Chains A and B, each alone.
Chain A
């Protein structure tokens, strides 16, 4: 069984998608419960994105975009409206009637097609608006579910001995495995350091529950943090740690609050 430190050696390989087979599976299992490693992988990917940018510059030919948009148009999501091609096919069948009548009918069909097109356009716009609103509503509902969950615990953390009077409120739902934190009155942290929230479970050692940095006003917020399943919080505490994260608190507790 590898230790956390041994897994840490594999993180860059994982971010580079070099890690395969059982090594990859072992690391992924470890990351399910190790927030520090998950966070480091996310940061390593960010480092890799910078490296990728060193090759940015050439623009793709214009035909690439045409090709993409044609492909997208060929697979619209949601209810598909009759395509102009289908409408034209319908119109073409009238070409079999005598020329004058066909011409008149084609003009009439063309008018209908334009009206249909305008209606379809309006309908699409409304559908887009509806779906966007619905998506925002769903996100808001998810947050409300956490705040109103019967087992949601709201914890106020107060200063132990700090004159700056930092304050934080953590809201945690074991059933939803989600955690939110709102903090204020925080002093700036030195370069390379970050505030670390610790979840102190009913049994066992404190678990890192997220790193955060205050803004210029000393405020910080951590939304929708995911925690492992089945962890019941006895208390929460905040310390200052290296920004790369830590498995256990290495500095004095700044603020602490009971979850019971």
Chain B
């Protein structure tokens, strides 16, 4: 079921990103430069947090924007935020690199339904602050489970072993943590 954005204005807000992606399809290097200026700190921040190595984070940043250049159609621009999509790709590719494994899926397979506007630095700062507030409101156990799964790429089983908690508890913590985030951003 393909979702629609709840906010009818979102598609218009994302319009200039869509235009830049259209220019990328046409081979416009300037469009890539503009998108890099807008989103490189998102990709780099995620990669650095996960890989804990500036050189590796720079390599990943390079790879992701080169992929965007080579396959601009991989991003489904009808479904919202390019920044959110890049953030998820950055997370997944960083975990692949951390675990020294081949990617489970191609970037085309990563379809995301996001209405969060991340283009503007100020808007982005507000979103980041809100996420951090929500994370701080979580119990330490829940926050730990979320961070181990998301930033360290541990499987639920590994988290259960590491924390000594039952597997079902870990699954519930991660799922409810994501639901908590979603609930806060849908109000």
Binding partners A and B:
yes
- The chain A residues found within 8 Å of chain B, CB to CB, are 9, 12-13, 16-20, 24, 35-36, 38-39, 41-61, 64-65, 67-69, 71-73, 75-78, 127-132, 135-136, 191, 208-213, 215-216, 220-226, 245
Is A69 in contact with B181, judged by CB distance below 8 angstroms? no
Q: In this assembly, does B8 line the interface, its C-beta being within 8 Å of a C-beta of chain A?
A: yes
Q: Across the two chains, which residue of chain B brings its CB closest to A132?
A: B26
Contact string, B106-138, partner A, CB cutoff 8 A, digits 1/0? Answer: 000011111110100000100110011001000
Contact of A49 among B37, B54, B87, B132 (CB under 8 A): B87
Which residues of B are found within 8 Å of A59, using beta-carbon distances?
Answer: 40-41, 44
Does residue B139 face the partner (Cβ distance < 8 Å to A)? no
Given the contacts A60-B41, A224-B78, A131 and B25 also touching, CB distance less than 8 Å: yes
Chain A minimum-CB-distance residue to B135: A54
Chain A residues near B88 (CB-CB < 8 A): 45, 48-49, 52
B-side interface residues toward A, CB under 8 Å? 1-4, 6, 8, 22-23, 25-29, 32-33, 36-37, 40-42, 44-46, 48-50, 54, 57-58, 61-62, 65-66, 69-70, 78-81, 83-85, 87-88, 90-92, 95-96, 103-105, 110-116, 118, 124, 127-128, 131-132, 135, 146, 149-151, 155-156, 171, 174-175, 178-179, 181-182, 185, 187
A39 and B92 contact, Cβ closer than 8 Å, known pairs A47-B182, A56-B124: no
What are 16 A-B contacts with C-beta separation under 8 Å? A17-B95, A17-B105, A38-B111, A44-B178, A45-B113, A47-B179, A48-B88, A52-B91, A59-B44, A60-B57, A61-B58, A68-B32, A72-B29, A132-B26, A222-B2, A226-B2
Q: Is A67 within 8 A of B104, CB to CB? A: no
A-B pairs under 8 A by CB, number: 214
List 7 tightest A-B contacts by C-beta distance, closest first. Answer: A35-B1, A131-B26, A55-B49, A42-B113, A49-B84, A56-B45, A46-B114
* Residue pair B69, A46 in contact (C-beta under 8 Å): no
Chain A: minimal CB distance from B8 (Å): 4
User: Which chain B residues lie closer than 8 Å to A61 at the CB level?
Assistant: 54, 58
Known contacts A39-B113, A132-B26; 10 additional CB pairs below 8 A are A20-B104, A36-B1, A46-B80, A51-B178, A52-B87, A55-B46, A56-B41, A69-B32, A76-B29, A225-B2
**Once bound together, how far apart are the Cα atoms of A36 and B151, in whole Å?**
27
A12/B87 in contact, CB under 8 A: no
